[in-house]
Every structure is written in C-alpha cells, then in structure tokens.
C-alpha cells in the first residue's frame, strides 16, 4: 500500500501517517523514495496496539458499562 491507501485503511490523514513513520511508530519501508506498507504488517500492528492496556482504558470501559446498565 502507498501512503494514501494506508491512511484510508487506518482512518488517519496522510500527514499523521507520515508523522508515525518518522517516529517509527508504524511498520513501513521505503521502495525508492516512496513509503510502502504491507497490509498484513498493519493488521498485526493494529492487533498489538488494540490488545495493549492503556492508562484510562479501564475507566472508559467502566463508564460504558455503567451507561449501558441504566
């Protein structure tokens, strides 16, 4: 995938994706002078990120659960 395709797939702007690439937060490689992304690597990266517990996640889940039980 190129930057445009990957940004659409991930739901972020191309500028945000360039930022993530520059900070080495997302798996990417250069082919010539263009950044490329493998869908399988992006899927794996998203799976890893979604399984990590971030600070505040429990509070959000608790709030959603409480709102659903009212």
Predicted TM-score of the model (pTM): 0.68
Structure-block tokens of residue 55: 């600070």
Q: How confident is the model at residue 70 (pLDDT cuts 50, 70, 90)?
A: very low
Write out pLDDT tens, residues 45-57.
999 988 886 665 5
Burial letters for 19-39: b for 16+ Cβ neighbours within 10 Å, e otherwise? ebbeeeebebeeeeeebebee
CA separation for the pair 11, 17 (Å, rounded):
10
CA separation for the pair 31, 10 (Å, rounded):
20
Q: Spell out the alpha helix ranges (H) of the chain.
A: 3-10, 14-22, 39-51, 57-68
């Amino acid at each position: 995938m190129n930057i445009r395709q990957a940004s659409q797939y991930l739901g972020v702007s191309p500028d945000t994706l360039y930022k993530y690439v520059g900070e080495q937060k997302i798996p990417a490689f250069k082919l010539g002078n263009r950044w490329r992304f493998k869908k399988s690597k992006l899927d794996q990266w998203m799976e890893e990120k979604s399984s990590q517990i971030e600070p505040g996640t429990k509070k959000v889940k608790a709030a959603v659960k409480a709102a659903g039980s009212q």
